[in-house]
Structure 1
Amino acid sequence: MLQLVYVSSVTPGAGATDPAAILAVSRANNRRDAITGMLYADGGRFLQALEGPPDKVEAAIDRIKADKRHRSIVILSSREIETREFGEWEMAHSTPGEDADSFIARIAKLAANASPNVRATFEGFAQARRGA
């Protein structure tokens, strides 16, 4: 099974980044393709882990690269894993006015079963983005 982690920036003016719409489409695609993982979105950045069959994960990242809402996509890690680290696919989205500590705690809970490096990536990213 392939696990891929990437970060990207939201392209200004490229269209809606409504988290509910992203979540609905992503859940349907990921269920169809047996992909799990986690998506962090805060309105300015995306950080996502995708895990599943290699061909399906690579097709998903190709769709993301073609999505005009994403720019500056950087693959942070790509590795083979024996078992899923995230279970069901989840999305963590920071909403304006949300308590930063609560949001960071939610990220930590969702990434609790990930490898130490992947968990640190999500937790560190949430911490760094707290003031953004």
Structure 2
Amino acid sequence: MDSIATPLRQLLYVSSSNPRGAKIDVPEVVAQSRHNNALDGVTGLLWSDGKRFLQVLEGPADSVATTFARIKADTRHHAIVVLHERDIAAREFGTWTMAQRVPGDSADAFDERIRRLLENASETVRGNFLGLIAARNG
């Protein structure tokens, strides 16, 4: 009997931290998200400056939908906008879970690491991340 491959889905969204919400502890969010995403088979890339978030999620369609529903229900997010959503044949970010700016990383060093991680991304995904990086630098 042939096994049927689970369709993969890619979703790219942008959000802002809720101005009325609790301050977002980005390292804590990343740690919890890595745990949840590993359980759900979701991978991707997250960029944040602490005020704005740009994330691409990849994985089984139902897992991506569940993960995004959890994000939309999180009151720390505000103005969530889906920028791009499509079926994909293969993950553009492999098993990469999320990028995180670690203490000691300059914003420029972090942005350069993000640029390298975007090398295999679609033009749409790459363009959105690079646009947000350019806005930070502008």
TM-score, normalised with respect to structure 2: 0.86
The CA distance in 2 between the partners of 1:40 and 1:109, in whole Å, is 13
- Cα distance between partner residues in 2 of 1:92 and 1:23: 7
> Which of 19, 22, 27 is the matching residue for 2:26?
19
Structure 1 unaligned spans of 5+: none
- Mapped partners of 1:47, 1:25: distance in 2: 17
Cross-structure match for 2:116: 109
Q: 99-108 or 8-17, which moves further after superposition? A: 99-108
Contact in 1 for aligned 2:10/2:85 (Cα 8 Å): yes
- 1:119 is aligned to 2:126: yes
Instruction: Select the structure of larger CA radius of gyration.
Output: 2
Instruction: Provide the rounded CA distance (Å) in 2 between the counterparts of 1:116 and 1:106.
Output: 17
Q: Which moved more, 1:64-73 or 1:85-94?
A: 85-94
> Paired residue for 1:77?
84
* Residue 128, structure 1, aligned to residue 131, structure 2: no
Query: Helix, strand or coil: the match of 1:91?
Result: coil
Gaps of 5+ in 2: 1-7
Please tell me the root mean square deviation across aligned C-alpha atoms, in Å.
1.8
Please say if 1:45 is aligned against 2:69.
Answer: no
AA matched with 1:30: N
Counterpart secondary structure, 1:15: coil
Q: Larger deviation: 14-23 or 31-40? A: 14-23
**CA 1:94 to 1:74, structure 2 compared with 1: closer, same or farther past 3 Å?**
farther
AA of the residue aligned to 1:82: A
Which one of the candidate residues 93, 98, 102 is aligned to 1:90?
98
> 1:7 corresponds to which residue?
14
SS of equivalent to 2:50: coil
Distance in 1 of aligned mates of 2:102 and 2:18: 18
Instruction: Give 1:99 shift.
Output: 3.8
Hey, what's the Cα distance between the residues in 1 that align with 2:42 and 2:130?
A: 22
Q: CA deviation at 1:94?
A: 8.2
